[in-house]
Amino acid sequence: MEKYSAFEQKLNIDFQNKSLLQQAFIHRSYINEHKGTDLEHNERLEFLGDAVLELVVTDFLFEKYPDIAEGRLTAYRSALVRTESISAAARAMGMNDLLMLSKGESRDEGKARDYILANTFESFVGAVYLDLGYDAARSVIKNALFDTIDTIISEGTWRDAKSYVQEKAQELYNETPRYELVSSDGPDHDKNFVMAIYFGDKEIAEGSGNSKQKAQQDAAQKAIQSEGWED
């Protein structure tokens, strides 16, 4: 359990139940590959942690932005707790080195790993809540995520960029944006796509991502910046 002790020290927390801490990092694939073990995977903890995470973030945004309406607060919350945000937080905390995965899962460092890390972050939050209480869980979430909201707002990544661009393009230019694939490269499990966004025949911007949808969102966000449509 030495690696977990170093992790606790890094976060300045001390679990009473060390087995619960370990469980937060056990993926179902590890259990499936190690039949007969008395270990449990982390999915129940993930279920609990997801609810704690949503409550903590909702409370934070409610208090931080007293004059902002519910619809935009919901968009802010979605941006803070989406897979990309919490998987990045999990990596920064060192969770990737603590994962207990099957041999097959351990070889995949692409978008599937980000999904596992996001779920693990939620599992860890659930474990902290059970072992140390709400305030400790809130502290973990605060240190991992709260500071990112300013960047999310300044960059406009809280909004659904594609929907926003469509509304603005139709309002100002009477055009419906279209997207075209520019290129794709990389192995099947970790491809990178480049998509271009057009108003009519004019290319406005290009975006990239590990799926066509994410590349389109990135292209739409860059179109917002190019057109000067930030709030």
Question: What percent of the chain is helix, strand and coil (3-state, nearest 5)?
Answer: 65, 10, 25
Residue 71: the pLDDT is 83
Low-confidence ranges of the chain (pLDDT < 50): none
The verdict on 65 and 100 lying in the same domain is yes
The verdict on 66 and 123 lying in the same domain is yes
Residue 231: the pLDDT is 65
Residue 188: the pLDDT is 77
Last residue of a domain, one of 140, 155, 170: 155
Residue 153: the pLDDT is 86
Q: Please, are residues 102 and 34 in contact by the beta-carbon 8 Å criterion?
A: no
The verdict on 147 and 199 lying in the same domain is no
Residues with a catalytic annotation lie at 50, 122
Q: How far apart are CA 167 and CA 170, in angstroms?
A: 5
- Domain span at 168: 161-227
The verdict on 21 and 88 lying in the same domain is yes
What is the average pLDDT value for the chain, to the nearest integer? 92
The verdict on 203 and 93 lying in the same domain is no
CATH number of residue 206's parent domain: 3.30.160.20
Domain count, the chain: 2
Q: Is the dihedral of CA 160, 143, 123, 113 positive or negative?
A: positive
pTM of the model: 0.77
Q: Please, are residues 83 and 115 in contact by the beta-carbon 8 Å criterion?
A: yes
Single out the residue of 137, 86, 135 nearest to residue 115, CA to CA: 86
The verdict on 137 and 47 lying in the same domain is yes
Query: Measuring CA to CA, how many Å separate 11 from each of 3, 31, 33?
Result: 13, 27, 30
